[in-house]
């Protein structure tokens, strides 16, 4: 009987360990960079970037084996030839403010804050209390 498949996240967790404030990759390297077969850098798995080829990552850490998501800079690349591709919509898993919301809720929160017409009673009719609280928090911060 075949072994059950493991998720990418489980594979990365199995081949890494914590050392201080770094998450050190114990798996293979390609040059001086960590490498996960068929997926590239394992930090992309931790940042949920496997399905986003137009987003690249750059290390900000001097430890070559470090794959800690907070030690990588995310760069959204643009299509310079025709600029006809829609902008990349990726939600950063390191952002704790949007961790509890779906992608659609995050977009609606941003849209409502930009519009500025915020009536707490009207918002409560349509959104969960957590979403209303986030909308009001962001509106008061701007």
Give residue-wise pLDDT tens across range 119-136: 788 888 888 888 888 888
User: pLDDT value at position 97?
Assistant: 65
* Structure confidence at residue 142 as a pLDDT band (50, 70, 90): low
Instruction: Report the C-alpha gap between 109 and 141 in whole angstroms.
Output: 13
Beta bridge partners of 33: 30
Question: Rounded CA gap, 12 and 95, in Å?
Answer: 21
Contact 110, 87 (CB under 8 A): no
At residue 114 the predicted structure's pLDDT band, cuts being 50, 70 and 90, is: confident
The answer to whether 17 and 24 are in contact (CB under 8 A) is yes
What's the pTM?
A: 0.67
Question: Three-class SS string for 68-111?
Answer: CHHHEEEEECCCCCCCCCCCCCCCCCCCHHHCCCCHHHHHHHHH
Question: What does the pLDDT read at residue 27?
Answer: 92
What are 59-71's pLDDT values in tens digits?
Answer: 999 999 999 999 9
């Amino acid at each position: 009987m075949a072994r059950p498949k493991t998720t990418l996240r489980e594979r990365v967790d199995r081949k890494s360990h914590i050392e201080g404030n770094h998450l050190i990759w114990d798996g293979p390297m390609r040059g001086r960079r960590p490498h996960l077969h068929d997926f590239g850098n394992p930090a992309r798995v931790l940042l949920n970037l496997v399905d986003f080829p137009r987003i690249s990552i750059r290390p900000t850490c001097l430890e070559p084996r470090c794959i800690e998501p907070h030690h990588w800079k995310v760069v959204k690349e643009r299509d310079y030839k025709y600029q006809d591709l829609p902008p990349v919509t990726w939600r950063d898993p390191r952002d704790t403010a949007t961790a509890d919301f779906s992608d659609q809720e995050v977009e609606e929160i941003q849209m409502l804050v930009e519009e500025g017409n915020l009536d707490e009673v009207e918002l409560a009719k349509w959104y969960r209390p957590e979403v209303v609280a986030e909308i009001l928090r962001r509106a008061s911060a701007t």
